[in-house]
């Protein structure tokens, strides 16, 4: 099983530090933001120690497909109301894709966005229109994330993502990132993950699934909330999340933990260890 987690990217070691952090947790993959998720300030790629990071990953048997980049959530391709937001979404997404290409990573996780004051069909058509203004190089794949449906978020049903994918000119350069907390909150029953994968396969196609975000949820199924819980401490529960982690049909897909820090300490080393040996112990999460 390929397990990773969200890691920091900060001075002085940047991406090299991110990989070191992931390795310190026993992770086989990691996910980073190329800068603060809520703003557009970015360091030049030449300063991010991308080659050193790739070297350290290679030494540990990890290809750069295991370094997943998450696009900042200020990018909202579903917004058709404010032209300046739409314009920024496209130009910043284009730059972000270029950064992924220069870093040498493969997958860029992107939230489809929120339609704000219009409606879901308008949101979907706006996303298609906006993404068709972006050029994705052949070595980058954008993974649209499944959302919880909170507020006016688009992408909380597989059918919505299928509709978006069907409208994209560079269709083959897009796929999906499945977030377990989000789809639980959107109303999917994760108890039998094979059922979820069957439904994903029928609507989108399993070959389009590139990343899994493995999170527990603080809310009950269908609540449309999006609050992540630590593995085993939420409503999805350890056994179901462990089943997802070991599912044969997704064994080559990186599963990334985006669970909250506990007492300001990262829980990932313990969560990864528990998922790897299949035994949950809530006491170990008392950090
Ligand atoms: Fe996300
Ligand atoms: Fe996520
Ligand atoms: Zn979330």
Tokens of 62: 């990890």
Q: Are 53 and 16 in contact (CB under 8 A)?
A: yes
Q: Are 114 and 79 in contact (CB under 8 A)?
A: yes
Q: 197 CA distance to ligand 3 centroid (A)?
A: 20
Q: Which whole number is the average pLDDT over 165-173?
A: 98
Q: 255 CA distance to ligand 3 centroid (A)?
A: 14
- Spatial separation of the C-alpha atoms in residues 162 and 164, rounded to whole Å: 5
pLDDT single digits (tens) 24-71: 999 999 999 998 888 888 999 999 999 999 999 999 999 999 999 999
Q: 226 CA distance to ligand 3 centroid (A)?
A: 5
Query: What's the whole-number average pLDDT of the chain?
Result: 96
DSSP H or E stretch at residue 229: strand 228-229
pLDDT single digits (tens) 151-165: 999 999 999 999 999
| Coil/strand/helix, residue 270 | helix
Q: 181 CA distance to ligand 3 centroid (A)?
A: 7
DSSP H or E stretch at residue 176: strand 174-179
Task: Kindly list the structural domains of the chain, giving each domain's residue range(s) and its CATH number in brackets, ordered by start.
Answer: 2-285 (3.20.20.150)
- Spatial separation of the C-alpha atoms in residues 258 and 5, rounded to whole Å: 6
DSSP 9-57: --TTTHHHHHHHHHHHTT-SEEEE-SS-TTS-----GGGS-HHHHHHHH
Q: 187 CA distance to ligand 3 centroid (A)?
A: 14
Q: Which whole number is the average pLDDT over 147-151?
A: 98
pLDDT single digits (tens) 216-237: 999 999 999 999 999 999 999 9
Using the structure block, give the residue that is written with the tokens 């507020």: 151
Q: Which whole number is the average pLDDT over 239-260?
A: 98
| Ligand having the closest approach to the CA of 229 | 3
DSSP 91-153: HHHHHHHHHHHHHT--EEEE---B-TTS-HHHHHHHHHHHHTTS---TT-EEEEEP----TTB
Q: Which whole number is the average pLDDT over 245-271?
A: 98
Q: Which whole number is the average pLDDT over 189-212?
A: 98
């Amino acid at each position: 099983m390929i397990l990773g987690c969200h890691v920091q990217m900060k001075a002085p070691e940047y991406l090299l530090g991110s990989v070191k952090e992931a390795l310190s947790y026993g992770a086989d993959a990691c996910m980073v933001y190329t800068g603060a998720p809520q703003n557009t300030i970015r360091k030049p790629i030449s300063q991010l120690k991308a080659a050193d990071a790739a070297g350290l990953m290679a030494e540990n048997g990890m290809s750069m497909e295991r370094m997943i980049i998450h696009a900042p959530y200020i990018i909202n391709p579903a917004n058709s109301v404010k032209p300046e937001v739409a314009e920024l979404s496209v130009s910043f997404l284009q730059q972000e894709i270029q950064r992924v290409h220069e870093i040498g990573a493969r997958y860029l996780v992107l939230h489809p966005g929120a339609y704000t004051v219009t409606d879901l069909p308008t949101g979907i058509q706006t996303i298609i229109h906006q993404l068709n203004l972006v050029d994705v190089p052949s070595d980058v794949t954008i993974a649209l994330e499944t959302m919880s449906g909170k507020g006016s978020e688009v992408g909380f049903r597989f059918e919505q993502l299928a509709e978006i994918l069907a409208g994209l000119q560079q269709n083959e350069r897009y796929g999906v990132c499945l977030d377990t907390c989000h789809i639980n909150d959107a109303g999917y029953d994760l108890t039998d993950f094979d059922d979820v994968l069957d439904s994903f396969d029928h609507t989108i196609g399993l070959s389009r699934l590139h990343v899994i975000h493995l999170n527990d949820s603080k809310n009950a199924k269908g609540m449309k909330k999006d609050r992540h819980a630590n593995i085993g401490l939420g409503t999805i529960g350890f056994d179901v999340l462990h089943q997802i982690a070991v599912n044969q049909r997704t064994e080559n897909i990186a599963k990334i933990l985006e669970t909250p820090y506990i007492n300001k300490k990262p829980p990932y080393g313990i969560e990864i260890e528990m998922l790897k040996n299949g035994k949950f112990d809530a006491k170990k999460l008392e950090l």
